[in-house]
Amino acid sequence: MAISAQLIKELREKTGAGMMDCKKVLVETDGDIDKAIDLLREKGLASAEKKASRIASEGLVASYIHSGRIGVLVEVNSETDFVAKTDEFKEFVKDIAMQVAASNPEYLCEEDVPQEAIDKEKEVLIQQALNEGKPQNIAEKMVEGRMHKFYERVCLLDQPFIKDPSITVNDLLKDKIAKIGENIKIRRFVRYEVGEGLEKREEDFAAEVAKQMGK
């Protein structure tokens, strides 16, 4: 069937994929836009890793404020301004901001964690294992497995995605790269909480954010 320019435009606006890619998958799916989106995603998954090396210097800085108590700023980059303006990209950036508010990561990825912090955590975990009666050599082996939980707690990309804990934030990122067809990078974030560092009554604002996202 003949593929209209309007249909190509609609698919491009929904996915951010290139015009020729949109036309090709629409031809393959006989103009079925839902199947075309799925096909773009499947094709993208195979090339997501290749896209990771491409320069992403456009994007958005977004904010999220929770009840006037927690504030987050995030910068997420894309390759083109066109993609940065799509609803899907904006929604992804918002999800990342809410993730930071709810889960309070300290670093973006494992590579960002200072060696001093890693050594300190390993020391604590080894001592825990020794207190459990494990021999030194066994304790050291156990630590390697337990470090996964540490990274999951402190690294944004390793955290379970708060809207779908069956995947990590990094899984979500790769899925967006595949679906949109451009390299996307979560560059940096900052999180503030009222009274942070001061003595105050116990309140779990992060749990409030998580509850709100689960609605």
For residue 48, pLDDT over 60 is answered with no
CA 133 to chain centre: 38
pLDDT, one tens digit per residue, over 176-195 is: 887 887 889 999 999 999 98
Mean pLDDT (the chain, rounded): 86
Q: What is the pLDDT confidence band of residue 127, given thresholds at 50, 70 and 90?
A: confident
Helix axes 19-28, 5-15, angle to 10 degrees: 110
Which residue, 179, 197, 184, 194, is CA-closest to 17?
A: 179
Which CATH number applies to 56-113+155-215?
A: 3.30.479.20
| Cβ contact 148:118 at 8 Å | no
114-152: CATH topology is GTP Cyclohydrolase I; Chain A, domain 1 (1.10.286)
* pTM score over 0.75: no
CA 125 to CA 52: how far, in whole Å? 34
In this predicted structure, which of 24-33, 49-58, 130-139, 177-186 has the lowest mean pLDDT?
Answer: 49-58
Where in the chain are the domains?
Answer: 1-51, 56-113+155-215, 114-152
Sort 71 into a burial class: Cβ within 10 Å, 0-12 / 13-18 / 19+: middle
- Give the residue with greater pLDDT, 5 vs 208: 5
Instruction: Give the SS3 label for residue 172.
Output: helix
- On the question of a common fold for 1-51 and 114-152, the answer reads no
Amino acid at 90: K
Q: For the domain with range 1-51, which CATH number is right: 1.10.8.10, 3.30.559.10, 3.40.470.10, 3.40.50.300? A: 1.10.8.10
- Give the residue with greater pLDDT, 199 vs 165: 165
- Give the residue with greater pLDDT, 95 vs 6: 95
Q: What is the pLDDT confidence band of residue 28, given thresholds at 50, 70 and 90?
A: very high
Cα–Cα–Cα angle for 208, 67, 156, rounded to 5 degrees: 55
| Cβ contact 168:186 at 8 Å | no
For residue 97, pLDDT over 80 is answered with yes
Which residue, 18, 102, 111, is CA-closest to 67?
A: 102
For residue 104, pLDDT over 60 is answered with yes
